Structures are given as structure tokens and as C-alpha cells.
Amino acid sequence: MIRLLQLLPILMLLFTIQISAQIAIPDVEFENILLSNGIDTGFFDGFISQVDAEAVTGTLNISPIGSFGGEVTNITRIEGFVNITGLDALPGGANIQVMDLPANTELSYLNLTNSIALTSIDLSNNTKLTEVYLSPFSGSSSGGFSGVNLSNLSVLNKLEINGGDFSSIDLSDCVLLDDLRMTQCNNLLGLDLSNMVLLVKFKLVILLHPVNSKSSSKTQSLRSKFTISPCII
């Protein structure tokens, strides 16, 4: 009996460690993807072990499984997948409303195409990113991103943004950018490309005025406000 009492604190510690090594996965469809792809080796219980999460390298694809898969709306605790180098959410696969990537510092590739309902995204801690594709979910009520933080992305070489509600975007740290494509960023008033000395591909499509019969004067007004500080190509 005394021996058992002496072992009790050790057993409790081991139990606590076991519990703390679980990462909560609140989104049912997200967990279904992890289980179906053999990433989560446990059960359908709303958790993935830390060991399983940290074993994932390469690109984590959160697209639905088969034609009957539902949308992922929450990737809370994605920060537990600390060793992934890519994150892929393909069109129709996700309608992500929560995005927290500061802990995923190994990311070099991020594809959130037609898959997010966010109003802003901060990638300033993901300094290894070389390719970024951002596009809001087609069913989202928002007009796109009101803010995109690309600070510290000094090795980024490809950026595509489709649907932005911001009036400005800071690309000054993206000195290796050679491919920039921005469409439907209709509130954008200016773009500074003066640091983009490697830029060889550039596409900018914006709607400068509402489509109506009285738009001609407003078109001229907005055109006069929009400016591009050019790079040397």
C-alpha cells in the first residue's frame, strides 16, 4: 500500500503528460481529413497527438476527402503542425474563418485560394515563405482582405492576391519578388514597386469605378488618385 502511494505522484505525472500531448482539433471536417490521410493515427475524438502533428512535413492539404467531403471552417491549432513547409486549401475545400500561423515558421508555400472568410491575415512571422496565393471564399460576405501583413518576407518571390479590400499594401520587404499578380483589389490607391528590382511578371486588375451610367467622372477622379512607383525591369 505504501509502495502504491509512493508511485501515485509518478503515475499522475505520466497521465498529465499524456493529456498535455494532445492537440485539440475542433473542426470535424479537418479531423476527418487528418484521419483519412493517415496523419492522425488515433480515433475520431476531436484531438490529434502532438507526435502525429509534429511528424507532418511537406505540404498539408486540407481539401475535402472525395466528392461528399464538407468544408473546413476552422483550423484552430494548426500551430501544432510546426514542421509543415506548405499549406494547401483548394477551392471548395474550405471556408476558413480562423487563421493563426505565427508558429508555423517552416512554411515556404501557402495556397489559400477561394478558401478563406478572413478580413485580414498576418504572415510577418512566416519568413521562409516563397510563394503565397490568397483569395477569399466565394461565399464570404466580406469584400476581401482589409489587411495583409507581408513584413519580413524577404525571400518571397511569388504573390497572388485575388480580392482585397485594402487601400494600400506594403511590399517593401519583399525584395526578391519576381512575380506579382493582384486582381479585384478595387480600393487600392497606390502601389510602391521601387524595391522590386527582380520583378519580371506583373499583373494588376482593378475596377476603378462602379458600373453605372454616371461613372465617367468618378473614373477620372479615381484614375488620378491611383499611382504606381515603378521598378526597374
Q: How far apart are CA 107 and CA 103, in angstroms?
A: 10
- CA Rg value for the chain: 22
CA separation for the pair 132, 148 (Å, rounded): 11
Q: What is the DSSP string of 117-142?
A: --SEEE-TT-TT--EEEEEE-TT-SS
Separation between Cα atoms, residue 198 and residue 61, nearest integer Å: 30
Distance of CA 78 to the CA centre of its chain: 11
Grid coordinates belonging to 201: 511578371
- The answer to whether 108 and 63 are in contact (CB under 8 A) is no
Question: CB 212: neighbour CB atoms within 10 A?
Answer: 8
pLDDT (tens place) for every residue of the chain, 233 residues total: 555 555 555 545 444 444 558 999 998 989 999 999 999 998 899 999 999 999 999 999 887 765 455 778 888 889 999 999 999 886 655 677 768 899 999 999 999 887 667 778 899 999 999 999 988 755 455 556 778 999 999 999 999 998 888 888 999 999 999 999 998 888 888 888 888 889 999 988 877 644 433 433 333 344 444 555 554 44
Q: What is the distance between the alpha carbons of residues 58 and 107, in angstroms, rounded to a whole number?
A: 9
Per-residue pLDDT at 1: 52
Q: How far apart are CA 105 and CA 110, in angstroms?
A: 12
Q: Identify how many contiguous H helices and E strands the chain contains and give both numbers.
A: 4, 13
> Going along the chain, which residue ranges are E strands?
22-24, 47-49, 58-61, 84-89, 109-116, 120-122, 131-136, 147-149, 158-162, 179-183, 190-192, 201-205, 227-229
CA 31/CA 40 separation, integer angstroms: 8
Three-state DSSP class for residue 210: coil
Pairing of strands 47-49, 22-24: antiparallel
Tens of pLDDT, residues 94-107? 677 768 899 999 99
Helix (H, G, I), strand (E, B) or coil at 51: helix
> Tell me, which fold does domain 30-229 have in CATH?
3.80.10
Q: Note the pLDDT tens digit of each residue in 68-121.
A: 557 788 888 899 999 999 998 866 556 777 688 999 999 999 998 876 677 788
Between CA 10 and CA 13 the distance in angstroms is 5
Question: What nine digits make up the cell of 114?
Answer: 477561394
